[in-house]
Amino acid sequence: MVGNGLGRPQPIEGRKLVANQRTIVITGASDGIGAVAARELAGPDVDLVVVGRSAEKTKAVAGETGATPFVADFAKLDDVRRLADEIRERVGTIDVLLNNAGGTFDPKKRTADGHEPNFQINHLGGFLLTNLLRDKLSADGGALVVNTASIGNLAGKVDLDDLDFQRRRALELRCYGTSKLENILFTRGIAERWKDDGIISAAVHPGPVASSFGRDSFFVGLLYRTPLKKVATITPEKGAEPLVALANRGTDPTINGVYFSRHKANGPQNSQAHKQELIDGLWQASERLVGIA
């Protein structure tokens, strides 16, 4: 089944399952590094699930890779809940979950759920989906969760009393950087809380990728429409490389809780990235905000 974005699943032709397949789920797979990662990871030994906001683009990637496509808008938490139900119906277990959906967004444009969009789309959506799929991740003795973060985490600041930037000045770079810092904190929360289930988690900065991740941002769009794009960015093919490499490492305990700057472990991180009170506090606040506490 594939969601049409309106909550009404539609039948599709899925890949015929064979023995010893890995099940890999990739969000943000309709374009950019997510689409490239899907193409690189596809094969007869992989049962691939791709998720995107654009039905047309997601279907095209699925057609290239033999994947099962689903459509969801992470700016709507009900979409994420529906997506989780559809994935749960489609798969028995999940070996790798690449939480790659996101971008940079104008903080003045609140989501349908009333949240600051960088916070919801980049963090809360992936947090909710991952938690709703936890039993599928642990079903076969464990799995790998990779969260796409960014060096932009250095510009972030998590305030547990103001996660939605209702009191602080909501500057786009600060909001985006905070959401990427939250991706790292979430990664460490998984590493600590779910290790007994065999679930491993890592975060990764793919590099300054020339893709459409900033399509909703006037600020980022200015850079991407100037000649600086050619000297300040890398291709989606290069950007996808660390995601693919991590997916192929699987449940390697040495990467649990690690933030990678491309292929290098322990990349530049915000001073808040290891604070236990923020790892725990963000998890607990996120549970309340998405209704799973």
Q: How far apart are CA 234 and CA 214, in angstroms?
A: 14
Q: Name the catalytic one among 74, 119, 165, 176.
A: 176
Q: How far apart are CA 196 and CA 111, in angstroms?
A: 35
176 tagged catalytic: yes
Q: How far apart are CA 116 and CA 24, in angstroms?
A: 29
Q: How far apart are CA 178 and CA 130, in angstroms?
A: 20
Per the DSSP assignment, residues forming a β-bridge with 1 are: none
User: Alpha helices of the chain — where are they, by DSSP H?
Assistant: 32-41, 55-65, 77-90, 117-119, 125-132, 134-138, 172-193, 218-224, 228-232, 236-249, 276-290
Q: How far apart are CA 13 and CA 178, in angstroms?
A: 39
Task: Give Cβ neighbours of residue 200 (< 8 Å, ≥ 6 apart).
Answer: 142, 143, 144, 145, 191, 250, 251, 252, 253, 255, 256
Residue positions annotated with a catalytic role: 176
